[in-house]
Structure 1
Amino acid sequence: MIRWLRIALYTIFVLSGQTAAALLTRLYFEKGGSSKWVGTLVQVVGFPVILPCYFISRRKLVTIPNSISTADVKTKPSSLLLLVCVYVYLGLLAAGNSYLYSVGFEYLPVSTVAVISASQLAFNAFFSYFLNSQKFTPFIINSLVLLTISSVLLVANNSSERPPGVSNGNYVLGFICTILGTATYGLSLASQQLTLRKVLKQQSFKVVMDLIIYQFLVASIATSIGFFASGDWKLSKKEMDRYTPGKISYVMTLLWTAVACQISVFGSVALIFEFSALFSNVIGALGLPITPVAAIFVFHDKMSSIKCISMVLAIWGFLSYTYQHYLDDRKLNVETEKTSEVSEP
């Protein structure tokens, strides 16, 4: 019972965090922000907000989840060099992913970015197949096909749905970067599951916090280097002065974007720890209808017929995968009951 309460809490973190982060990131560009590196930096530098959770859970042990076997836990800890290499890899992946999404939010409506992001389930399933031996079933394949078609349909969006001042070239660039960002996010989740299972190999919830903190520490350093190397830091004061709602709103927008991103990340990694990367991604896809609907009220985004069809296909793909997860759980329960009956005297 306690475990399912944790899962419900993590799910709320993912859904609320990703929706708030998407809306706030678009708000930054909508009201006068123009630095892709600032948009990237706020997505990765917020990890200190979860440090209190780190110290609270430092000595806490939890039940080993199904995705991490006892055999993995009993093996010797990985070397420091391997841990450093893994955290650097995950950190650079997070930095690249954040930059790609930053470009997407600058040139595309929030609703378009949200629907494209539904394809991350397909990318995650693809990478999980190679990294974590994820099995493909007819329902999962159906889910991948529907989500792919859903994203492809968005290319047909007409120019009236683009943010003001966005050229044809920038619109295509935003679309491509969002697709690539979605792919790298799927790879990141699959890589995190592999790291938890094969590299960290521990049953303490502290390893989840370590994974988040060190990963985003590397991402923050990499993004800061890009921020200063690009010269965007010189324009920060000018950007703050011309921000339409004012300087205080500028700072608060960036601050709460950083907090929302980390809340979502914390929930995602915790769900990976409890189940799998694909399950965590499915929960993220569950929030698909939330962001576009919210964007209609906040930014007056239009919901064209193509975008509506795309959303329906994405939700259909999500339900297809969810049903497969239900079948897997039911099969596991039956096998567990049979094992219990055999073991009884």
Structure 2
Amino acid sequence: MTDDQEAKEEKSSHPTSIIADSHATITFKPKNFRWWIRVALYSLFVLSGQLVGALLGTLYYKKGGNSKWLAALVSLGGFPILLLLYFIPTPKQPSDPNNPHIQTDAQAQYQSRSPSLKSLALVYLSLGTIVALNGYLSSVGLLYLPVSTYSLICFSQLAFNALSSFFLNTQKFTPCIINSLVLLTISSTLLVFQSNSKDPTGVSTGKYVLGFVCTIGASAGYGLLLSLDQLCFRRVIRKETLRAVLNMSVFPSFVASAIFVVGLCGSGEWKILGREMDGYELGKVNYVMNLVGVAIAWQVFTIGTVGLILDASSLFSDSISVVGLLIVPIFAVVFLGDKMDGVKVMAMILAIWGFVSYVYQYYLDDAKKWWMTKDGGVI
């Protein structure tokens, strides 16, 4: 994670922005083999962590689990694993004139100013509260929806991210982005008309609708969270180092976990956990192992996400996690007995189309910036 870190230490939080002054020459160096190995490894962490976390979370409900607060808690409660990453040394910023992230003195001074403790506390508390709300809504969605339907609905997070970025991060609505918004909206809407009689969980129509609404809410919250992360990195933290990215993962997770503990105790669900464990279809040991597996899987996902943000970009990291949403329904059909009917297939095709359109717009943005800076040019 520390290789090539020199070029990342003062990276802008916007995944496609490059900082240069009027006398700087920008050169683009090809990525080495070790960079590709790291990116492949981090991508594997993201995909496998997301897949295992989603499947085990669904298995918990299928085999007798019923605590929404506990399910939300274990999805974030493993964040102390990330503390080990703080011991990874990070080199100081080099003075290489060919560094692709050259800054002016004014820009360097701006980024070197550390944010106040009050500002950081407000950021972490606000983001942690949103994370907690998203986690609870997701746990309700997994309780009442098949995991394949849940994953397809989560594709709408791209549309919500584009909408929130329009207001917070000056995102432009290009034809590709508009096309993505329309396709992802239609994809999620189709799932409303899916007959829940085919749902192996056998939930009522009311609970199915509740699960659908909660999952849409969680997707909207996650899309907003991505935009707020970008805004906070640009306006408050002003740098994207390993420690800064870890802080944005660990402290909000701590706040969210504390909220989940309060919710678990305040709702009285903690009183039934003993009976829930005794009645778990797979036994007490598997009950504990299931919850531990969920906690570890989502932290593996987070480690992969952090690695991709530092070695690639936040956009690439989010794109890989969205790709993982395509894998979950396939494995859910194989291992959990979910049914992939025509409505789900159509929703998946539209979601893939919307995703490709979304990513293609960022590819066009990157290509435009590359042509503007090639052959020693400047922005």
Given candidates 17, 38, 41, the residue that maps to 2:70 is 38
Counterpart of 2:171 in structure 1: which amino acid? Answer: Q
After TM superposition, the structure 1 stretch with the greater mean CA deviation from structure 2, 13-22 or 209-218, is 13-22
Counterpart among 96, 100, 105 of residue 137 in structure 2: 100
Greater helix share, structure number: 1
Match status 1:208 vs 2:240: no
User: Is 1:141 the counterpart of 2:178 in the alignment?
Assistant: yes
Q: Identify the residue that residue 109 of structure 2 maps to in structure 1.
A: 74
Q: 1:54 Cα deviation (Å)?
A: 1.8
Give the AA of the match of 2:109.
Answer: K
How far does residue 35 in structure 1 lie from its aligned partner after superposition?
0.5
Deviations 1:68-104 (A, max 9, x none): 9996653221110110010001111111101000000
> What CA distance in whole angstroms lies between the structure 1 residues aligned with 2:302 and 2:106?
27
Aligned identity (percent) is: 49
> Unaligned regions of 5+ residues in structure 2, if any?
1-30
Aligned runs of 1:1-345 on 2, under 5 Å? 1=31, 3-57=35-89, 59-60=90-91, 74-75=109-110, 76-272=113-309, 277-338=314-375, 340=376
Question: Given residue 229 of structure 2, which amino acid in structure 1 is its aligned partner?
Answer: Q
Q: Any idea what the Cα deviations from partners look like across 1:159-182, whole Å, max 9, x if unmatched?
A: 223243411111110000000001
Q: Give the TM-score normalised by the residue count of structure 2.
A: 0.83
Contact kept in structure 2, 1:121 and 1:282, CA below 8 Å: no
User: 2:9 corresponds to which residue?
Assistant: none
AA in 1 matched with 2:81: V
Contact 2:69-2:264 at 8 Å conserved across structures: yes
Distance in structure 2 (CA, Å) of the matches to 1:71 and 1:187:
31
Instruction: Kindly indicate whether the alpha-carbon contact (under 8 Å) linking 2:42 and 2:304 is maintained by their aligned counterparts in 1.
Output: yes
CA–CA distance in structure 2, aligned partners of residues 70 and 333 of structure 1: 24
Kept after mapping to 1: 8 A contact 2:39/2:312 = no
Tell me if the contact between 2:146 and 2:201 (Cα under 8 Å) persists in the aligned partners: no
How far 1:228 moved relative to its partner? 0.6
| Cα displacement (A) at 1:313 | 0.4
> Amino acid of the residue matched to residue 198 of structure 1?
R
1:60 Cα deviation after fit: 4.3
CA distance in 1, matches of 2:42, 2:359: 17
AA of the residue aligned to 1:237: G
Higher mean displacement: 263-272 or 78-87:
263-272
User: Could you tell me how far 1:205 is from its partner in structure 2?
Assistant: 1.1
The Cα of 1:295 is off from its aligned counterpart by: 0.1
Residue 36 of structure 1, CA deviation? 0.4
In the alignment, the residues of structure 2 paired with residue 203 and residue 176 of structure 1 have an alpha-carbon distance, to the nearest angstrom, of 34
Q: Counterparts of 1:73 and 1:115 in 2: how far apart (Å)?
A: 42
- The range that moved more, 147-156 or 126-135, is 126-135
Moved more, 143-152 or 317-326: 317-326
Alpha-carbon spacing, 1:308–1:201, altered in 2? closer, same or farther (3 Å): same
Q: Which runs of 5+ in 1 are unaligned?
A: none
Three-state SS of the structure 1 residue aligned to 2:282 is coil
| Deviation at residue 273 of structure 1 after TM alignment | 5.2
Distance 1:342 1:289, change over 3 A: closer
Secondary structure (helix, strand or coil) at the match of 2:325 reads coil
Q: Which structure is larger by alpha-carbon Rg, 1 or 2? A: 2
Deviation at 1:274, TM superposition (A): 5.6
> Does the CA-based 8 Å contact 1:162-1:171 persist in structure 2?
no
Q: Distance in 2 between matches of 1:243 and 1:60?
A: 49
C-alpha distance in 2, partners of 1:288/1:132? Answer: 25
